[in-house]
Structure 1
């Protein structure tokens, strides 16, 4: 038995409430369950109960066994002096208050519907399962599921935005600077993301802004900071950028990060860090005030148009500084832009709008519902359980569900888990 389950049962009154009596045969009427306290102290605060003919206002403490009161040393803790009812699953000891009177106690064991307890046992079974409710989730009411997905999505968005908020504090609320850092990290994908972020942070954004009016300067700056001039290549373009970087390095007192940080191993050529840096350069050369432009765009096609940029001609025939290759445009694909919208633009825009109290939730929902479903192992597994994702809104909500509710077994806080528990 788990105390969290008993908290849930008490909070939502999932037990027989007719003819309630304490262990001392006192008639008990629950007027208010109280406020669930998730901090230290009694489990429910400001509860209102009627015991026989006397109305009491105070706190409720819940344990699996009565003796846990003494096990947890509540008898010497003044925080528990105002407890008016002890709710337990099993009564194995009499608990006395400081006036030497027995603490009123309610036993839940025979009051909880068997179906509720059975559903709870199935959810929290020790059997290895991908998610606790995998045999039941496909049968959950669609209305409940859809409403819960919206809550999950905005919880995920809030958490992402809170991370961005810390970066904004470091950058003195410079949204353009933070956007550059976030985009850089996403351009690096999983393999090189942290290295790209270090690259972005290695130069003050004011220098990025000054160089963004000149493709050669910005290329020299970023490839130089990334350490790509530490190795000699015969390419004329490489030599030109190297000379330009020497000037910039001296002028701004720059220190490059290690070239060895960037991985090319087992990557598709279009994802090579050199190509992604070239695309990032093309984007910021074309749009010096990218953040401002992104805040105006509301539809998917508008974002695709904004991110439609051409890399410098050298990169159309190269994947690295080392050798020439067959010519290709190397434009940002729509699927890549989708990832940027999901992971960077929406969280940043949400935070910006929220700071100005002009958040229109439907704007974000509509945008995500027009983006194709993400493909990953979690979404594939949900699909096997007959939970099909139609778009990126679905996938973002399901990722939040799996990682922050299913994995830590927070079923009692989940709308799906609550629905399953209440089934007869």
Structure 2
């Protein structure tokens, strides 16, 4: 069965026999304007214009594989669909009516679609390669490929920003608090991201800022709320940390929400232990107390790298846990860790800010950051390289990962600029 997206494509580009069109009722149809694709709720195409038996109708076009999908989707009860002037279907299996019980004019496409269009589309769908258009990719224009790459990249960046938007909503759109929570989550990387977020949520930023020049007190708050001070201690630093935490916890009436055993240490190198990341977060908060500005005022990759070049306190350069020494002194964040924070924390933040302020300058900053960073190397990027795609920056690799996962694997070729160009043009 053909997907609805293919019918959208056929309608949008009029890839069917439009001469002497007849509705299923037998009435003559003339298409004046196909309308524009609607990405929001409601009918599929808005502001269309059709002529039915000499009478012009302005409104929406709804598209379904089967006419009965109108009822399956409950459009008959939705007033938003009362302005549908044409129902375009592949198979007319049922007469449909709107909420006022008026019949909807219906056009059946089966038998009208140009055979070569169907053949080229089916060729992509039947292809078992992980990139369905792999054998024909070089037959497409470079501008088509690059425009799709940028589109996929923006989609990936915006998808990553959705998690930040959830945090923002939970904080009643307090950007400073949300930026702090987001930064903490980023410092958890993949393994301890959620626990780091919970930790930040349990220690409000306004509490930390009251101790903005006292690293020891910020460490006491964070390590205490993380549950790492719920142990017997023997060294002086840990003893004083416990003592300070008890005082501050009572003073600010903090509720400890995380236990020691909830953190992940297994299969993690000491440099990535949550204890070290918390110490590094504390050092960063001391250095840059205004986290919103830390993100929003980013200009280039070098600036972010320099900002992240903070060193945890001396104790946490020589210990990986309370009372547990390291055999080798640790430094601060590695280059790889810094770039991970840029890609997964700073860039989604800028994308969210761009949408919130309706200012693409922030999105441009995000994309420029990716353009200045080295490409990731993984099985997906290697696959694209074998197909002749130049993968020279994180802009390329991130976009190609999205293209592969969101379009190639689920075979959404007809929603991809590259796939559309191949179906439209006889290159097979």
TM-score (norm 2): 0.82
Please give the alpha-carbon distance, in whole angstroms, between the structure 2 residues aligned to 1:174 and 1:69: 42
Provide the residue aligned with 1:176 in structure 2. Answer: 176
Q: CA deviation at 1:362?
A: 3.4
Q: Structure 1 residues 214 and 78 mapped into 2: Cα distance closer, same or farther (>3 Å)? A: closer
1:370-409 alignment to 2 at 5 Å? 370-409=372-411
Please give the alpha-carbon distance, in whole angstroms, between the structure 2 residues aligned to 1:261 and 1:76: 48
Provide the residue aligned with 2:231 in structure 1. Answer: 231
CA contact (8 A) 2:17 2:113 kept: yes
Is 1:189 matched with 2:189? Answer: yes
CA contact (8 A) 2:43 2:84 kept: yes
Q: CA deviation at 1:96?
A: 9.7
Provide the residue aligned with 2:120 in structure 1. Answer: 119
CA contact (8 A) 1:311 1:329 kept: no
What is the DSSP-based 3-state SS (H/G/I as helix, E as strand, rest coil) of the residue aligned with 2:168? Answer: helix
CA contact (8 A) 2:133 2:419 kept: yes
CA contact (8 A) 2:238 2:323 kept: no
| Higher mean C-alpha deviation, range 260-269 or range 69-78 | 69-78
Is 1:297 matched with 2:298? Answer: yes
Deviation per CA, 1:37-56, whole angstroms, max 9, x where unpaired? Answer: 67888765654334565545
For the aligned residues, what is the CA RMSD? 3.7
Unaligned residue ranges in structure 1 (runs of 5+): none
Please give the alpha-carbon distance, in whole angstroms, between the structure 2 residues aligned to 1:71 and 1:252: 55
What is the DSSP-based 3-state SS (H/G/I as helix, E as strand, rest coil) of the residue aligned with 1:319? Answer: strand
Q: Which has the larger radius of gyration?
A: 1
Please give the alpha-carbon distance, in whole angstroms, between the structure 1 residues aligned to 2:168 and 2:325: 40
Is 1:140 matched with 2:140? Answer: yes
Q: CA deviation at 1:304?
A: 1.4
Is 1:265 matched with 2:266? Answer: yes
Q: CA deviation at 1:392?
A: 1.6
Provide the residue aligned with 2:365 in structure 1. Answer: 363
CA contact (8 A) 1:34 1:44 kept: yes
CA contact (8 A) 1:138 1:387 kept: no
CA contact (8 A) 2:161 2:351 kept: yes
Please give the alpha-carbon distance, in whole angstroms, between the structure 2 residues aligned to 1:138 and 1:128: 18
Q: CA deviation at 1:314?
A: 1.7
| Higher mean C-alpha deviation, range 52-61 or range 141-150 | 52-61
Deviation per CA, 1:155-214, whole angstroms, max 9, x where unpaired? Answer: 333344444234234334433322221121111111111111111111121112223321
Please give the alpha-carbon distance, in whole angstroms, between the structure 2 residues aligned to 1:261 and 1:151: 39
CA contact (8 A) 2:350 2:365 kept: no
Please give the alpha-carbon distance, in whole angstroms, between the structure 1 residues aligned to 2:359 and 2:178: 21
Q: Structure 1 residues 255 and 80 mapped into 2: Cα distance closer, same or farther (>3 Å)? A: closer
| Higher mean C-alpha deviation, range 292-301 or range 25-34 | 25-34
Provide the residue aligned with 1:15 in structure 2. Answer: 16
Provide the residue aligned with 2:347 in structure 1. Answer: 346
Please give the alpha-carbon distance, in whole angstroms, between the structure 2 residues aligned to 1:67 and 1:182: 46
| Higher mean C-alpha deviation, range 153-162 or range 232-241 | 153-162
Please give the alpha-carbon distance, in whole angstroms, between the structure 1 residues aligned to 2:203 and 2:177: 10
Please give the alpha-carbon distance, in whole angstroms, between the structure 1 residues aligned to 2:322 and 2:97: 79
| Higher mean C-alpha deviation, range 191-200 or range 291-300 | 291-300
Please give the alpha-carbon distance, in whole angstroms, between the structure 2 residues aligned to 1:50 and 1:330: 73
Please give the alpha-carbon distance, in whole angstroms, between the structure 1 residues aligned to 2:129 and 2:34: 34
Provide the residue aligned with 1:312 in structure 2. Answer: 313
CA contact (8 A) 2:305 2:338 kept: yes
Provide the residue aligned with 2:418 in structure 1. Answer: 416
CA contact (8 A) 2:32 2:49 kept: yes
Q: Structure 1 residues 87 and 194 mapped into 2: Cα distance closer, same or farther (>3 Å)? A: closer
Please give the alpha-carbon distance, in whole angstroms, between the structure 2 residues aligned to 1:71 and 1:171: 38
Provide the residue aligned with 2:2 in structure 1. Answer: 2
Unaligned residue ranges in structure 2 (runs of 5+): none
Q: Structure 1 residues 204 and 412 mapped into 2: Cα distance closer, same or farther (>3 Å)? A: same
Please give the alpha-carbon distance, in whole angstroms, between the structure 2 residues aligned to 1:166 and 1:122: 41
Provide the residue aligned with 1:204 in structure 2. Answer: 204
TM-score (norm 1): 0.83
Deviation per CA, 1:49-85, whole angstroms, max 9, x where unpaired? Answer: 3456554556656555678789999999999887765
CA contact (8 A) 1:63 1:87 kept: yes
Please give the alpha-carbon distance, in whole angstroms, between the structure 1 residues aligned to 2:320 and 2:139: 50
Please give the alpha-carbon distance, in whole angstroms, between the structure 1 residues aligned to 2:246 and 2:292: 30
Provide the residue aligned with 2:322 in structure 1. Answer: 321
Provide the residue aligned with 2:334 in structure 1. Answer: 333
Count of matched residue positions in the alignment of Structure 1 and Structure 2: 420
Q: CA deviation at 1:421?
A: 1.9
